[in-house]
Amino acid sequence: MWTIPLGGLGEFGMNMMALRSGDDIIVVDAGLMFPEQELLGVDIVIPDISYLKQNKRMVRAIVLTHVHEDHIGAIPYILPDLEVPVYGTRFTLAILRKKLEEHGLLDDADLNEVSPGGTTRIGPFEIEYIHVTHSTIDCVALAIRTPVGVIIHTGDFKIDPTPVDGKPFDLHAFARYGQERVLALFSDSTNVERPGFTPSERAVVVRLEELFRAAPKKVVVSCFSSSIHRIQQVVDIALHAGRKVGFVGRSMVDNVEIAHELRKLRIPDGSVVRPQDLKSYEPTRLVVLASGSQAEPLSALSRIAVDNHRLLSIGENDTVILSARIIPGNEKAIFRMIDHLFRRRVLVYYEGGRSAPIHVSGHASQEEMKILLQLVKPKYFIPLHGEYRQLFRHAALAEQMAAVSGEIFLIESGQPIEFTDDGRAYRREPVTAGRVLVDSGSLEEIEEVVVRDRRHLAADGVVVPIIAIDKHTGLLEGSPEIVTRGFLPSEDGAEILNKAREIILRTVEQSSPEEKTDWSVIKEKIRADLKRFLNKQTAKRPLILPVILEV
């Protein structure tokens, strides 16, 4: 039996792991990653599934732990390649259904609903779904009975003793497996740097209540649209404080609708203000939930911050609460948005500071990780869901306890472990794993080379030499034109461009008659010569795009 992590170990996002026993493979999660800034114009990043494509006839199913994008976001991009059934809890599948519909894939999808406490048999694997608490609803860990022993995959979790929906973390199930013997535990490492316990989702109540009551005018709360617990609490507290609620932003409206339909969100009749009435509604009696907590361009909150939202305007003494983590990488955009709000004299509250929290994490801190290790007492332990330092520290934390009887494996995406019949585990040769870049506008994969071009463009600009060639004689018509953008604004620019023109002339003159009739060769020669020259003169590598005009 092999476990093959294909994403999420040593990187944040795109969680995916394959389990293989004989000729049967199941895949746990298929998430995406939001790109770093340097991947210009790439909208999303998904795991490289070459390994699964090579073994396509063995792949039996994708099993999902929960609804977050870093666990389900890649499905629309990989499902057409794999054509396998998908298993997930009710809310997870409801959101996935919407996604697949948008991609025109719903008709061909085979979606199978599972529930916490239930089991599914897929080939040689028997999977029990164990309810765990996290920042969204309907989350499960997986206890996978394989021919060589039980593997537990926690998914994302924290141990919330007072969950908003009243459904507790199923400590008993983990303890039961611990008593039976667990071969290997794969566990969430996200918050390993935090000591103590992560606060309950309920911890935000005090501060939100205080802010809602004190707010002189309307309140806008922004959180992740999948944070159903948070949305529930905002609704409850708003009603309690004598305010009604409204919803803006596509993902917020969609998720609230889906969760409400599934009865996962309790919104009393008559408590919702219709979108078209928000502008005219009495501000002292209104709380609006808006998507866009990460200041995503064109999101509801980004528009509201510059007072450019169709349904809602904002101004002096309105209150905006960011009830979400400021995700590293998004700080600039978020703080720019917050600045806009302050300029409008809005009262803005965001994470940080000494008061009671307006946001809590959905991932376990050190003490919860220890509890889980102690309950499960696995033979082997493998940290997952984190960057390398987090995996490392999670391994170190497990090392300090006597909970793991065998080895702790610190591995990254692409590094398989084989579990043999005699209950031992070995590292095996890496398989192909990595990132695939997707431009969600075109839904097409982007080659690394495209991104490289974009990086050149952003850093060093573009140079377009335009050469007119007489189609009868093959001779140059006049001096070449050079158009530049984002390159050479300096005073010696003109001189460099003059020299560049000479280089183009020389390159063309020194070419053989055959070369001159083959424009692609001429273009390539000009590109190479100019690149060398410009790099030497300016230490830059602009994108060079020669254009040849026939005259």
Residues in touch with Zn ion (CB under 5 A) = 68, 70, 156
Least separation in angstroms between CB 224 and Zn ion: 10
Tokens standing for residue 103:
């991609």
- Assign 238 to helix, strand or coil: helix
User: Which residues does 356 contact at the CB level (< 8 Å), separation at least 6?
Assistant: 203, 204, 206, 207, 210
| Residue number with CB closer to Zn ion (14 or 288) | 14
How far is 75 from 94, CA to CA, in rounded Å? Answer: 14
User: In degrees rounded to 5, what are phi and psi of residue 366?
Assistant: -50, -45
The verdict on whether 188 is a catalytic residue reads yes
Least separation in angstroms between CB 365 and Zn ion: 15
| Residue number with CB closer to Zn ion (48 or 70) | 70
Least separation in angstroms between CB 71 and Zn ion: 6
Q: Are 120 and 126 in contact (CB under 8 A)?
A: yes
Least separation in angstroms between CB 8 and Zn ion: 8
How far is 31 from 74, CA to CA, in rounded Å? Answer: 5
Least separation in angstroms between CB 135 and Zn ion: 7
Least separation in angstroms between CB 422 and Zn ion: 34
The verdict on whether 240 is a catalytic residue reads no
- Assign 2 to helix, strand or coil: strand
Q: What angle do CA 271, 275, 281 make, to 5 degrees?
A: 65
| Residue number with CB closer to Zn ion (146 or 154) | 154
Closest CA to 187 of 401, 330, 430, 358: 401
Q: Are 358 and 351 in contact (CB under 8 A)?
A: yes
| Residue number with CB closer to Zn ion (128 or 156) | 156
Active-site residue, selected from the candidate residues 71, 359, 363, 456: 363
Closest CA to 284 of 380, 234, 216, 338: 216
| Residue number with CB closer to Zn ion (20 or 158) | 158
How far is 446 from 35, CA to CA, in rounded Å? Answer: 13
Active-site residue, selected from the candidate residues 156, 170, 188, 460: 188
Alpha carbon 35 to chain centroid distance?
A: 8
| Residue number with CB closer to Zn ion (70 or 201) | 70
Catalytic residue numbers, as ranges: 188, 363
